[in-house]
């Protein structure tokens, strides 16, 4: 980050132009330092909190000879009390401005992952398996028509989305297509009924090239975010059913009564998580137990038992929005990192067991940026060797 950008970032803060996430990133730095003092929840006045953050930032920036505006008393539209106890749940982000300054400092420290071992973020990539067995690499095909089968035209749009359009399906039987994303990949598909599905890394979706009058059935492995189109059938709304596969066996069925929801069913996750953002879904397991979700709720399935709890919807769909949101333990966060950057995570004996993280950053950054952010907690250390991340304390 260059000096002009640092200066502009600070001016935006002083002019109260930063958004909530950017403010939180800066303020977290102070909370992190306060937590390290191991005090027991003394109250911190918000105005003093800001002053301490900026005294540190402005002091560091002055060493880079950036022209700074005159610092005035900050006028905030509100006041609030923040306890140090909050810091225990937000031990990730160390303040974006502070991090920029640290990155400009060439003195090596234990937080820096060597750039020569850096790895780029995942990209839009997938393969499409047609009903006749042909496999199409969607990374190589140009924009436009990819294939035609059973009266359905399959095209790739300018933004990379796979789109199905019915031409003439009368008298033709539908086959099944499967779109598969590798580790380090993601893709978006618009199904024949107009429903849109985002697939995360290491996932697949199997679906018919045309839906029948009896319903719309698809099969998911890994993770997918669905926005289901409203389609009327002879008996009202045409049902949309997602069969969820985990460890090569059907684990649950999600009957869609509404529209927007996310399903996380990775084999290395302890639960299948269904998060509802809009509408209504019914989650059923093989023993025929079913649970109806309302928007803002999460269904966690394990051993055919469904537990419903309030959902962190921002974290559940962060991947679809190009973000990492870490409000979870270290090992859960590192599973996301492993899938997106196609790396193996190796835990040494000294690696922390129950380190809770909190924070946000873009999924578009190199892996070094993600690991350096997490290391700023001072609770964990990473070593990147090729595609292996060694975790220690």
Please report, for the domain that includes residue 328, its CATH number. 3.55.50.30
Q: What is the DSSP letter of 67?
A: -
Query: For residue 147, how many C-alpha atoms fall within 13 Å in the half-sphere facing its CB?
Result: 17
Is 227 inside a domain boundary? yes
Give the pLDDT of residue 33: 41
Residue that terminates a domain, selected from 74, 107, 140: 107
In a 3-state reduction of DSSP, which class is residue 360? strand
Structural domain including 303 reads: 123-316
371 and 291 in a common domain: no
* Whether residue 330 sits in one domain with residue 236: no
Give the residue ranges of the chain where pLDDT is below 50.
1-6, 29-50, 54, 57-58, 60-112
- The CA distance from 111 to 189, in Å, is 39
Q: Cβ-count burial of 382 within 10 angstroms (0-12 exposed, 13-18 middle, 19+ buried)?
A: buried
Start-to-end CA span in the chain (Å): 28
Task: Work out whether strand 297-302 and strand 305-310 pair parallel, antiparallel, or are unpaired.
Answer: antiparallel
What pLDDT does 239 receive? 86
Residues 309 and 195 placed together within one structural domain of the fold: yes
- Residue finishing a domain among 316, 350, 370: 316
pLDDT number for residue 361: 87
Number of domains in the chain: 3
Find how far residue 316's CA is from the centre of its chain.
Answer: 7
Query: Would you state the pLDDT for residue 67?
Result: 41
Q: Are residues 223 and 365 in the same domain?
A: no
Residue 92: its pLDDT value, please? Answer: 37
- Domain of 149, CATH number, reads 2.60.120.1440
Q: What is the pLDDT of residues 145-202, one digit of tens each?
A: 888 887 888 999 988 899 998 877 665 667 899 999 999 999 999 998 899 999 999 9
Helix (H, G, I), strand (E, B) or coil at 111: coil
Asked whether the beta carbons of 361 and 94 are under 8 A apart, the reply is no
Q: Which two structure tokens, joined as six digits, stand for 168?
A: 């003439």
Same domain, 225 and 372: no
Alpha-carbon gap, residue 52 to 392, rounded angstroms: 31
pLDDT digits (tens, 9 = 90+) for 292-320: 999 999 999 988 889 999 999 999 999 99
Which of 73, 107, 141 is at the close of a domain? 107
Q: Are the C-beta atoms of 360 and 324 separated by less than 8 Å?
A: yes
């Amino acid at each position: 980050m260059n000096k002009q950008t640092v200066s502009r970032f600070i001016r935006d803060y002083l002019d109260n132009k930063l958004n909530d996430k950017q403010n939180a990133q800066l303020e977290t730095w102070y909370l992190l330092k306060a937590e390290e003092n191991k005090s027991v929840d003394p109250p911190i006045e918000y105005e003093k909190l800001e002053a301490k953050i900026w005294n540190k930032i402005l002091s560091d920036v002055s060493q880079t000879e950036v022209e700074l505006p005159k610092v005035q008393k900050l006028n905030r539209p509100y006041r609030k009390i923040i306890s140090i106890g909050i810091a225990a749940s937000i031990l990730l982000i160390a303040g974006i401005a502070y991090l920029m300054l640290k990155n400009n400092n060439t003195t090596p420290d234990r937080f820096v992952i060597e750039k020569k071992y850096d790895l780029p973020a995942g990209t839009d990539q997938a393969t499409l398996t047609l009903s006749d067995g042909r496999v199409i690499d969607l990374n190589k095909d140009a924009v436009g028509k990819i294939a035609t089968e059973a009266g359905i035209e399959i095209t790739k749009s300018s933004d990379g989305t796979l789109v199905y359009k019915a031409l003439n399906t009368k008298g033709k039987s539908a086959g099944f297509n499967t779109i598969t994303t590798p580790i380090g990949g993601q893709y978006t598909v618009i199904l024949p009924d107009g429903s849109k599905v985002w697939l995360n890394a290491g996932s697949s979706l199997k679906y018919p090239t045309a839906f029948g009058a009896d319903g719309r059935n698809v099969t998911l492995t890994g993770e997918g975010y669905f926005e289901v189109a409203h389609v009327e059938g002879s008996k009202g709304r045409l049902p949309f059913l997602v069969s969820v596969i985990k460890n090569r066996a059907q684990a649950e069925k999600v009957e869609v009564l509404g529209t927007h929801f996310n399903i996380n069913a990775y084999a290395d996750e302890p639960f299948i998580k269904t998060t509802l953002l809009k509408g209504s879904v019914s989650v059923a397991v093989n023993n025929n137990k079913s649970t109806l979700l309302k928007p803002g709720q999460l269904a966690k399935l394990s051993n055919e038992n469904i537990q419903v709890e309030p959902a962190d919807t921002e974290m559940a769909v962060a991947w679809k929005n190009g973000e990492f949101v870490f409000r979870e333990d270290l090992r859960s966060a590192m599973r996301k990192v492993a899938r997106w950057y196609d790396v193996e995570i190796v835990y040494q004996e000294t690696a922390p067991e129950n380190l809770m993280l909190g924070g946000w950053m873009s999924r578009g950054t190199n892996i070094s940026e993600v690991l350096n952010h997490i290391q700023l907690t001072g609770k964990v250390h990473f070593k990147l060797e090729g595609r292996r991340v060694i975790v220690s304390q």
